Chains A and B, each alone.
Chain A
């Protein structure tokens, strides 16, 4: 498949950027739990996007409130679009915790074991890229006193995690100004 796309000179316009209601973002808060070593993730999406994406993958109608086994379908989808390789190069699967769906948004909660720590792990976060060209996914990572924000879009679906000292913590150790 790759070579076929290589041959075509694809001139793609930003197909879905025309809406006056561009919701094409998701945001995740991820903390590494020092006790378990797992990355604990709370991921906020627009419920409609999630329904469309799972529908596209499973080819069956999906309603977050009514569909039976919808959590299982979500996990299957998440495992294809939110992927983590720990520093030893092994792909780590999602441990599902649960979800909260409101009218405004859907929060997805899951854990991913990352032996060897967050720094140097590879994160792939291509949620909803198949739905909209201009999807932007953001994750706020925290590992104790270090952290970072990573942003993913179709030109950058994968990144190796680098962390930096978080200013809020560092600030406290600064010598007071005269």
Chain B
């Protein structure tokens, strides 16, 4: 029996652990002293009911409200204002009677006395730029709030209404019973924010050179507040970060703009013969059969349009069915390209609109990125159901709406662009077009849970990026990329409300995306994960899922209990740090005295001599002086093999049957790996055994190995060769934050800093050598020349 328990101490350990948040813990087991990491989540999740089942699917009486809109809106390019009137038909599919209804007035976030402004903490004034100072002062004076001009019922009678911050309550003259609809209209206007000064998800950009504007308009009309089985009216006010909670419905929108503007919007254009030239309509037709994007408005035409003056107004009419929101963009600066894409039988017009400032980047990549996104996302969810998918360049860096999204990256003024700008553009378009699936169609509550759309979307973005080109530089998705964040202590669980999250990007985008990637690659496998994820998307397409519906569906459809995974990754801030503490190797004794005694002698000889023993050796001994004192025992070696021993062994062998003999002769090694969970997160254990002959073997153990003891476990692995070393997580798939304890025997692992510095130094050594060689060669050349 051999035992190797030597632990090499490594100085460069960089783990920082913290006691994992036990906010979700509803019991205490003081005697055992351990948290039950595999306890079911049913104590935390809402009780299943007729609206939402325990399997994660919509229930037999699932309902959601519906709001249809007919809107007339005018964009005033002189004063940058929106003037609108709308008629909303609101259908109450809930089992409840409603005596009042709520509308969202999002532009009210842009008043100096909004909650968003009042609760903002001061900026840091050290080295503040002039631009930042400008933004502060504009924010102080800009009045972007909505002026409600009228609220009327279907018979034009005024309706009583009360504005509460970014919402408005309308009193219904007669309560709206379950199953009934009501129709009412609202007229309003407001000043549009300059998006470069008052940051937002909407606004205009002014171009000083040609005095034109690009408008990217969103949450520009009073929208129904969602009324749901989970929250009633979603009364979380708009503070800027938590995005939108919306009802699905049908829209007809008439957008009046200066007659030289090009308008693009959620939905299909109904009056193309009125607003487009014959040539433009022909080009759109050509785009239906084109293999690459076709210009509807060319760069040259757009450049020429910049010096236009409008001679009147034009109204563009758009229709959009089954959408939860409506956005549009308008400018005379737009270049416009389009290509029809056939997606599993659905005809989708992919289009991009951008100014000349965005060229040559946008005509090359935007529409291609849209089509690529639709292809990949549809494969993992459902076929894209809408007729158009549009990407617009303007002041907003990246923001998603149904069928249309706003994306910011542009080349330099001289038309050159860096690699990073290129990939930023492709990534942001994939991300924002991807949002059509989550949350536009799988209509989650963004005001409450950012991760339900951003996390899922960032995960699919990673998959789509990796199908764009080899080694695409994806920022989020790979487990190793999230290690520094996971290691940090000041975090909140993913299950935290949007407005309260501290590090928004890592918390709501990167961590859930990485968790899902780990779930797919290392826990469920691609086949099970993809089946369950698709099932979730399809179950909740055009419906409103809550977190429990996602957690439950993923388990229900994969057939794997994942409560431990949701608990660890979504409800706590624990991280992965598993350590190989020891490796014990056991072998079967052959019982052959010639073999065993030799081994034992070797072991005995290996034992160190003590200090006294070695010094005593030189002392004269009495038995040497008086030889007669020596007898049999002075020369007897108890490890000497005698004939009796050999005979006994032969008798033993005879008594064995064939199977027993086979076992005895087989050279099996029984390796016991002792593991300790330091980070708190229970995770699968992936072990790579390397053998003396340089071959290796990998063993993958599910996370359930931790189910009885989540702090310390051992695993037996039988091999037929002696093990040289063991590595934990050899493919970096678990986001283990401390790799120094992932090897047995321990290997020194350098910090990032040390690694970089040593590379620098070795590079310098090489340079020195090269320089020396060059010098030597030069001198040779010189001497040769001299010789001549």
Contact = CB atoms under 8 A, between A and B. Distances in A.
Interface of A: 1-2, 5, 10-25, 27, 29, 31, 34, 40-42, 44, 47-48, 56-57, 63, 65, 80, 97-98, 100, 102-105, 107, 109, 126, 129-130, 133-134, 136, 138, 140, 142, 144, 147-151, 153-155, 157, 166-169, 171, 176-177
B16 A142 contact: yes
B411 to A, nearest CB: 13
A145 B565 CA distance: 30
B775 interface: no
17 contacts: A2-B125, A20-B454, A22-B509, A29-B752, A29-B753, A40-B753, A48-B420, A56-B129, A97-B760, A142-B16, A147-B14, A166-B13, A166-B15, A166-B16, A168-B15, A171-B678, A177-B33
Interface string B730-759: 000000001001000000000111101100
Listed residue (A12, A13, A44, A47) with the most chain B CB atoms within 10 angstroms of its CB: A13
Contacts of A150: 490
B125 A21 contact: no
Nearest to B579: A168
A78 to B, nearest CB: 13
Listed residue (A12, A107, A153) with the most chain B CB atoms within 10 angstroms of its CB: A12
B506 interface: yes
B484 A31 contact: no
Contacts of A98: 756-757, 760
B435 interface: yes
Contacts of A23: 475, 505
A118 to B, nearest CB: 13
Interface stretch (B112-120, B248-256, B603-611): B112-120
Interface stretch (B132-140, B145-153, B516-524): B132-140
A169 B7 CA distance: 13
Given A11-B117, A17-B240, A23-B505, A129 B124 contact: yes
B757 A134 contact: no
Listed residue (B34, B120, B738) with the most chain A CB atoms within 10 angstroms of its CB: B120
Interface in B357-406: 396-400
B504 A12 contact: no
B346 interface: no
Closest 5 A/B residue pairs (Cβ): A167-B17, A103-B473, A149-B489, A15-B199, A168-B15
Contacts of A100: 756
A44 B483 CA distance: 12
B268 to A, nearest CB: 25
B424 A157 contact: no
Contacts of B122: 10, 12, 154-155
Given A80-B127, A171-B678, A40 B754 contact: yes
Interface in B263-290: none
A107 to B, nearest CB: 7
Interface of B: 11-19, 33-34, 109-110, 112-114, 116-118, 120-129, 132, 135-136, 139-140, 198-201, 240-241, 396-400, 418-420, 423-424, 428, 431-432, 435, 454, 473-475, 481, 484-485, 487-490, 502-506, 509, 577, 579, 676, 678, 711-712, 738, 741, 751-754, 756-757, 760
A20 B435 contact: yes
Nearest to A141: B16
Contacts of B198: 13, 15
Contacts of A149: 16, 487-490
A134 B399 contact: no
Contacts of A105: 475
A27 B488 contact: yes
Given A13-B117, A21-B428, A140 B753 contact: no
A168 B17 contact: yes
A171 B577 CA distance: 12
B120 A65 contact: no
Contacts of B399: 18-20
Contacts of B487: 140, 149
Contacts of A126: 124, 126
A169 B738 CA distance: 12
Given A97-B756, A138-B490, A10 B140 contact: yes
Nearest to A145: B13
Contacts of A80: 127
A103 to B, nearest CB: 4
Contacts of A21: 397-398, 428, 431, 505
A63 B411 CA distance: 13
Given A140-B16, A151-B490, A171 B418 contact: no
A164 B117 CA distance: 38
B756 A107 contact: yes
A98 B505 CA distance: 27
B104 to A, nearest CB: 16
B400 A24 contact: no
A25 B503 contact: yes
Nearest to A16: B199
A140 B485 CA distance: 9
Nearest to B504: A22
A11 B112 contact: yes
Given A44-B484, A154-B123, A14 B241 contact: yes
A169 B124 contact: no
B139 A42 contact: no
Contacts of B435: 20
Contacts of B431: 20-21
A29 B14 contact: yes
Nearest to A168: B15
Given A22-B505, A103-B473, A138-B503, A14 B756 contact: no
A100 B711 CA distance: 38
B473 A104 contact: yes
Nearest to A154: B124
A130 B128 contact: yes
Contacts of B475: 23, 104-105
A113 B712 CA distance: 40
B420 A168 contact: no
B484 to A, nearest CB: 4
Contacts of A18: 199-201, 240, 396, 399
Contact of A42 (B15, B132, B752): B752
A107 B759 CA distance: 14
B420 A97 contact: no
B473 A140 contact: no
Contacts of B488: 27, 138, 140, 149, 151
A140 B13 CA distance: 12
Nearest to A48: B420
Given A21-B428, A27-B488, A148 B16 contact: yes
A75 B253 CA distance: 54
A11 B200 contact: no
A152 B136 CA distance: 22
B114 A13 contact: yes
Contact of B126 (A34, A63, A129): A129
A168 B136 contact: no
B484 A19 contact: no
Nearest to B12: A31
Contacts of B756: 42, 97-98, 100, 107, 109
A168 B503 contact: no
B35 to A, nearest CB: 13
B751 A29 contact: yes
B757 A31 contact: no
A12 B753 contact: no
A93 B613 CA distance: 59
Given A12-B117, A103-B473, 6 more contacts: A22-B509, A31-B12, A48-B424, A97-B757, A104-B481, A166-B17
A29 B18 contact: no
Contacts of B751: 29, 31, 40, 42
A57 B126 CA distance: 12
Contacts of A10: 122-123, 136, 140
Contact of A20 (B13, B400, B502, B506): B400
Nearest to B130: A56
